[in-house]
Amino acid sequence: MNHWGKYKAAALLFSLAVCCAAIIGCEGTGGSTAPQPVTNSSLQEPATQIPESQKLIVYTSHKEEVYRPIIQEFEEETGILVDTHAGGTTEMLHLMAESEADANVDVFFGGGVASLEAYREYLDPYSVSLKDSLDPSLTSTDDRWTPFTELPLIFIYNNKLVNEEDAPKSWREFLDDTWKGEISFADPEKSGTSFTILETLRDVSGLSLEETIAAFCDAMDGDMSEGSGEVLQLVDSGEKLVGITLEESALKEIARGNDISIVYPEEGTSVVPDGAAIVRNAPHRENAEKFLDFIVGDAVQNYAVNTLSRRSVRQDLFPASRYDFAIVPINIQKASAEETKALELFHDRMGVAKGEATP
């Protein structure tokens, strides 16, 4: 049974509910706290009463409005019941690595593929049934992970406080004093998107990783947001004038009537996919394979484009000619290999920018 139309309406209602809950939560506590992993299980009976052949354990870093409709449709179509654990990308990858030896997780769903590549030793190769239909530039060389959607990076600005002609157009504007102290950017330790932004800045500027991070941290004036969602909120509220985020996130906020506009960088932008992978020692391997096949299938990919404002990895359904901007290629293996170094450099330099450390 197909329920995608129902989920489209539900996604909007869920987004509004999240916004209300966030406001109420902030009023009740006097501030925000770091997000904690949450569990959303469809296993209504005690787990011991459900046959292993009907179980799947998924760790995800997607927002609930993204993963819940997809998982619900998967359960409807297959009869497999999914035990879902959600949190931030870095947080959930750490938990996945800890759980892998005990065979307590089947699939990791979400996160940029550079982050998945960094944890490749914990992932088992699998070639999805529709692999030949995927854009080959977005796939893993050895099938350690499967791309889910393409996520272009874009600039945003508050359209009440910044004129269109003055809005940022080049990546280099984020490496000097043009927008000093007015840039909304999330902590890359918590946001995989932020790490991709650092890599894109480096590749476009031609600077070394150290030079790129030093210039960017200085331009931010030592100030960053806690998470990727806050990046858009700060620009919409006018607390920050500009930011760098994912196209799909910005499009959703614009659809909600928020005071932001999008700029596609004049040099082009990176389009690094998020992905999914089967975890090594997965206790329900066959079901994990079914899930990866499902998320690249026609129904989910169309849903991702039409409802989630994402771009499909299926080149047969959505040809690459749809892009009206240049693509900045990112070396996934290189990015993955230097992630730890980049995060250390970033936090060291942020301390300098805040005046808490010396260069």
Distance CA 175, CA 210 (A): 12
Summarize pLDDT for 291-324 with one digit per residue, the tens.
Answer: 999 999 999 999 999 999 999 999 999 876 567 8
Residues above pLDDT 90, as percent of the chain: 66
- The answer to whether residues 53 and 132 belong to one domain is yes
Residues 144 and 179 in one domain: no
pLDDT digits (tens, 9 = 90+) for 69-117: 999 999 999 999 999 999 888 889 999 999 888 889 999 999 889 889 9
Name the strand (E) or helix (H) holding 215: helix 209-220
Q: What angle do CA 168, 310, 217 make, to 5 degrees?
A: 35
Q: Which CATH number is 235's domain given?
A: 3.40.190.10
Do residues 169 and 266 touch, judged by C-beta distance below 8 A?
yes
* Domain match, 314 and 342 both: no
Total number of domains in the chain: 2
Q: Are residues 202 and 343 in the same domain?
A: yes
**Do residues 80 and 219 both lie within one domain?**
no
The pLDDT tens digits of the residues spanning 246-266 come to: 999 999 999 999 999 999 999
Same-domain check for residues 175 and 119: no
Asked if 87 and 128 sit in the same domain, the reply is yes
Q: Does residue 258 lie within any of the structural domains?
A: yes
85 and 215, same domain (yes or no): no
Q: Lowest-confidence range among 164-173, 252-261, 326-335, 345-354? A: 345-354
Q: At what angle do helices 285-295 and 64-78 cross, to 10 degrees?
A: 120
Confidence of residue 26 (pLDDT cuts 50, 70, 90): very low
To the question of pTM greater than 0.75 for the whole model, the response is yes
33: pLDDT strictly greater than 70: no
- Residue with more model confidence, 275 or 323: 275
Q: Are residues 312 and 244 in the same domain?
A: no
Segment 127-150, tens digit of pLDDT: 999 999 999 989 999 999 999 999
Instruction: Annotate 227-255 with three-state secondary structure.
Output: CHHHHHHHHHHCCCCEEEEEHHHHHHHHH
* Helical packing angle, 192-205 and 339-353, nearest 10°: 90
Cβ 42 vs Cβ 69: under 8 Å: no
CB 93 within 8 A of CB 192: no
116: in domain: yes
Structural domain span for residue 79: 4-150+274-322
One domain for residues 202 and 340: yes
Is the domain of 237 the same as that of 349? yes
- Co-location of 214 and 348 in the same domain: yes
Q: Is residue 359 part of a domain?
A: no
Give residue 192's pLDDT band: very low, low, confident or very high (50, 70, 90): confident
Is residue 275 within 8 A of residue 135, CB to CB? The reply is: no
